[in-house]
Structure 1
Amino acid sequence: MRLSFSKSKNSTSLYVIEDVTEKNKRTTRIVEKLGTVKELEEKLNSQDPIKWAKEYVKELNKKEKEQNRDVLVKYSQSTQIEKGIQRSFNGGYLFLQQIYHQLGLDKINKKISSKYKFTFNLDSILSRLIYGRVLFPSSKLSTYQDSRKLLEQPKFELQHVYRALEVIAKETDFIQSELYQNSLAISKRNDHILYYDCTNYFFEIEEEDGLKQYGYSKDHKPNPIVGMGLFMDGDGIPLAFDIHNGNTNEQKTLKPLEKKILKDFELSKFIVCTDAGLSSTENRKFNDKKDRAFITTQSVKKLKSHLKAWALEPTGWHLSDKGEVFDIRLLDKDEETYEKYKLDIFYKERWIKEDGLEQKFIVTYSLKYRDYHRKIRNKQLERAAKLIETRPNDINKKNQNDFKRFISSTNVTKDGEIADKTIYGLNSDAIEKEQMYDGFYAVCTNLEEDAEVITKINHRRWEIEECFKIMKSEFKARPVYLSRDD
């Protein structure tokens, strides 16, 4: 750094400047403006401002040199580090701690603690369980051990963790409702649209016990499971969850949790969006009241014959921004037409009344979705053909989505005689029957909004599937080893 002068007609100004390199060019920049000579004379009580300024710059350079000097740290090869003393700590949880306090979880813990006579620090336990699940998901024992590596040491022992789980289980509904109310102070919640879905978690046990029952495992594990129902708001943020028996029909889990939302969250006006597996008539009627509504997917394959015929009819299709009516058979008559419409979604709609419930039935068709179906099926056909050729003895019972469903078997020859061995081949009838549904997708709703609006709302159901995926993968919520239901 050095002293610089800037002279004008009426005054001389003093600056501290330094040389810098910007964009490969050498230049100078002003570090500090000291003032004019006249101003400095008044400030310094008639002391020579030039002399003072030079000394000031000299002092600045001296301080800068001291700050940039090398510091040598001496280590002794003979000195041993004392065992059992922690010398490094993890501070990566601090950003989670900020969110934790913004959501008022510390205050929630204080309210819960006032209702019980336990002496352990519930806030310290719950916060470490949350930090651990995000940073290093593992068992409760490992989480306790890892929490000792944090900058702020835990204020509890391992046995307190297991005792706290019982309290947290009892207060789950209270915690969820309080979290929702506290979250409103941070950001506006899109709670006018709620998505609901279920998943399950398997336990490393072989016998049923309490909530842990044998049922259909979405992880395809032959172990007892517990089910979880989850409501998510329109922005993809979890709202409320509930745990139920592993052998419970998922359709029966929606109403109990929704009733909790109506009561504890004080919500009354919303749209519930579910997949076809949860769209029982009872659930639809439950949300066909007051200010509630529903949007649910509908299997085209399972429609009544007259509705299926209408849904698959190639004429009478619309685009939202065009008044013309389309015949979907002509959408790929040539490459130019295909490229023009391959990303568009066509729709048709009608009102239906079944089981005393009036609802709008919307069917969509997309070339992109059709091509996706064909791509998946072609890969399955390749696997089926390879299995017939290489390992016919492995062909056994098929399920709904198994590629083996395209394999047919016969025990007679073309002449009608009994064959010496079973003959396998691709089932052309099954393939042709499934091709009928390529590109079609259907939803039912009691809303009167345009089909485009309804299909956009339904399209975001993938986010709740993503929530489950994150919990089971990144957060390692499976398998579960805890033995008690609470």
Structure 2
Amino acid sequence: MSPYIRKVRTASGATAVQIAVKEGRRDKVVEHLGSAHDEAELAALVEAARARLHPGQLVLDLDGPAPRAGAVVEAKRSALLWDVLTGAYEALGLDEAAGGDEGFRQMVLARLVEPTSKEQVPRVISELGVQPASRRTLFRSLSRCVTGDYRSRIQAACLRHVTGRGDLSLCLYDVTTLYFEAEEEDSLRKVGYSKERKVDPQIIVGLLVDRAGFPLQIGCWEGNKAETSTLIPMIEGFRKASGIEHLVVVADAGMLSAGNLEALDQAGLGFIVGSRMTKAPADLAAHFAWHGDALADGQVIDTITPRRGTRSTERDDKTRDEPVWDPQQHPASWRAVWAYSARRFARDNKTLTAQENRARAVVAGDRRPKGTRFVTTRKGDQVLDEQALARARRLAGLKGYVTNIPATVMPASEVIASYHELWHVEQSFRMSKHDLRARPVFHHTHDAIQAHLTIVMAALAVARHLQQATGISIKQLVRELKPLQEVTITINGHQITAQPTITPQAQQIINDLKPLAH
């Protein structure tokens, strides 16, 4: 009678692992090793059973009652996930930047596994099978984060990582708001313009990333500060820290203020920003007059736009060809690139039709007016603004870009392509808001808020680093690696550690990360 391993489903839904022998047609249980409640525990118990048998025995799945347990699961550890996260953290130089602060490291990496409060960090870390720092240690780390200026050192580490692996001639900048569930304002948290139309106190957060979305600088300002006024301090701070003189900054139309563009130009920096559609009629008036407003898919119009106001005095409407922007010949203008896309036209036209329908409903009295586009008041009555609607439809499909980079240095196609890289910084903001849940923020002091943003930036750097290496999001990576646990069990005083079975997806992640380890 040769003993074999038997796996039995119990009434509670667990899987009992036993060593049994055949006696006639019956199975006699020789030893019950324990009951597994997940794949990791099951693998460990089977491994322990194999260790007690001679090599080559069969593993059978049979149903039946389970005797009492003879093995104890001592520990489970998501070692592969933890090694991947800590490996990326250290490879980026963040451990050195934070002076080996274990509490800070656990707060950063916990955000990648399960975004939650600082109070919950020990639970998240312990669920990975790692010894967590105490809550007191974590909050002391928050204090050290500010007094030790971790932010500057982490930003320096991020800069070294980017300069060692890619081109830093172009950076992307955007801003967002983080709100607080607080009733009163203070020196930093102010009620201001909210894109989500919230009335809670908020702060303005600016994020500067490289062209691939890897974070370089993060900063925050009072919630009632104009977003346009954050650009210059951020760029100047980065240029001073990096020592980079020749830099092109890409930002969306929200940063398009005359003062911002003048300041960037005077500082010797290049810029590419989105143009407001209100500038299109004047910028393209001559083109429409000479060529009409029928545009081909992919058509680009490279022209000039006034630095201030909407009327250009440097564009000669009597000339058929568009002027080639030159800073000496056109000191009152910037270069403007307008591009037409049939796909964008279809999207814009659909939006305009929906807006027209809402406007008609308001005019007819079927809807209550609430800042409805294309509704105007004439002689006390609300009417459809036919002229504004026609003008909007004429410009559907167009997108404009403003820059101070001459065509001899950067062709229009490259200007457009560079601007479209902005989705990387938008994606990074989405990661910091949703995947990493930087908001809402419950901290109550200026230093705590600054420390929180430093943690978010460090977590974003690790997430971006892993995403660029593996091609999958940090959420997918955690979901794939976390269940792969090594399990330690004790049987009759002897400890056995079973390694998890590596899935094909996990193996691909390991293979993708191998080049980064060298």
Normalization by structure 1: what TM-score?
0.67
Q: Gaps (5+ residues) in structure 2?
A: 1-52, 310-330, 448-518
- Which of 381, 386, 397 in structure 2 is aligned with 1:428? 386
- Which of 224, 227, 233 in structure 1 is aligned with 2:201? 224
- The CA deviation at 1:306 is 4.9
- Which of 406, 409, 433 in structure 1 is aligned with 2:374? 406
* Superposed CA offset, 1:456-476 (max 9, x none): 111222221222122212222
- The CA deviation at 1:93 is 2.9
- The CA deviation at 1:192 is 0.4
2:418 maps to 1:457: yes
Contact 2:158-2:215 at 8 Å conserved across structures: no
2:349 maps to 1:374: yes
1:319: which partner in 2? none
- The CA deviation at 1:389 is 6.5
Contact 1:358-1:446 at 8 Å conserved across structures: no
- Which of 260, 269, 273 in structure 2 is aligned with 1:292? 269
Aligned residue runs from structure 1 range 80-479, under 5 A: 87-91=75-79, 92-110=81-99, 123-154=101-132, 156-170=133-147, 171-184=149-162, 187-289=164-266, 292-302=269-279, 306-307=282-283, 309-310=285-286, 313=288, 315=290, 327-329=292-294, 331=295, 341-342=296-297, 344-350=298-304, 359-385=334-360, 391-392=366-367, 394-396=368-370, 398=371, 404-408=372-376, 426-448=384-406, 449-479=410-440
How far apart are the structure 2 equivalents of 1:239 and 1:75? 60
RMSD of equivalent CA atoms: 3.3
- The CA deviation at 1:391 is 4.7
* Superposed CA offset, 1:69-105 (max 9, x none): 24699997556999xx974333323211111110112
Distance 1:75 1:390, change over 3 A: farther
How far apart are the structure 1 equivalents of 2:442 and 2:272? 37
Distance 1:169 1:218, change over 3 A: farther
Distance 1:81 1:426, change over 3 A: farther
* Superposed CA offset, 1:384-408 (max 9, x none): 455666853x323x0xxxxx22345
Contact 1:346-1:366 at 8 Å conserved across structures: no
Structure 2 residue identity aligned to 1:405: R
How far apart are the structure 1 equivalents of 2:69 and 2:277? 77
Name the structure, 1 or 2, with higher relative contact order (CA <8 Å, separation 6+): 2
- The CA deviation at 1:428 is 2.7
Contact 1:180-1:265 at 8 Å conserved across structures: no
Match of 2:354, SS? helix
Contact 1:353-1:359 at 8 Å conserved across structures: yes
Structure 2 residue identity aligned to 1:147: I
How far apart are the structure 2 equivalents of 1:75 and 1:485? 61
- The CA deviation at 1:141 is 0.9
Distance 1:479 1:452, change over 3 A: same
How far apart are the structure 1 equivalents of 2:366 and 2:118? 46
How far apart are the structure 2 equivalents of 1:104 and 1:433? 54
Match of 2:127, SS? coil
Distance 1:283 1:427, change over 3 A: closer
- The CA deviation at 1:217 is 1.3
Deviates more, 1:463-472 or 1:379-388: 379-388
Structure 1 residue identity aligned to 2:265: D
Q: How many residues align?
A: 368
Structure 1 residue identity aligned to 2:223: G
How far apart are the structure 2 equivalents of 1:439 and 1:288? 29
How far apart are the structure 2 equivalents of 1:145 and 1:81? 26
Structure showing greater radius of gyration is: 1
2:500: which partner in 1? none
Contact 2:338-2:398 at 8 Å conserved across structures: yes
How far apart are the structure 2 equivalents of 1:172 and 1:109? 6
Contact 1:315-1:328 at 8 Å conserved across structures: no
Distance 1:290 1:384, change over 3 A: closer
Structure 2 residue identity aligned to 1:123: D
* Superposed CA offset, 1:225-278 (max 9, x none): 011111111222221111111111112111222122122222221101122221
Q: Gaps (5+ residues) in structure 1?
A: 1-64, 111-121, 317-326, 332-340, 399-403, 413-422
Contact 1:208-1:214 at 8 Å conserved across structures: yes
How far apart are the structure 2 equivalents of 1:282 and 1:407? 32
* Percent sequence identity over aligned pairs: 23
Normalization by structure 2: what TM-score?
0.63
How far apart are the structure 1 equivalents of 2:261 and 2:101? 40
Match of 2:415, SS? helix
* Superposed CA offset, 1:390-445 (max 9, x none): 853x323x0xxxxx223456777xxxxxxxxxx76644333223223212222221
* Superposed CA offset, 1:2-41 (max 9, x none): xxxxxxxxxxxxxxxxxxxxxxxxxxxxxxxxxxxxxxxx
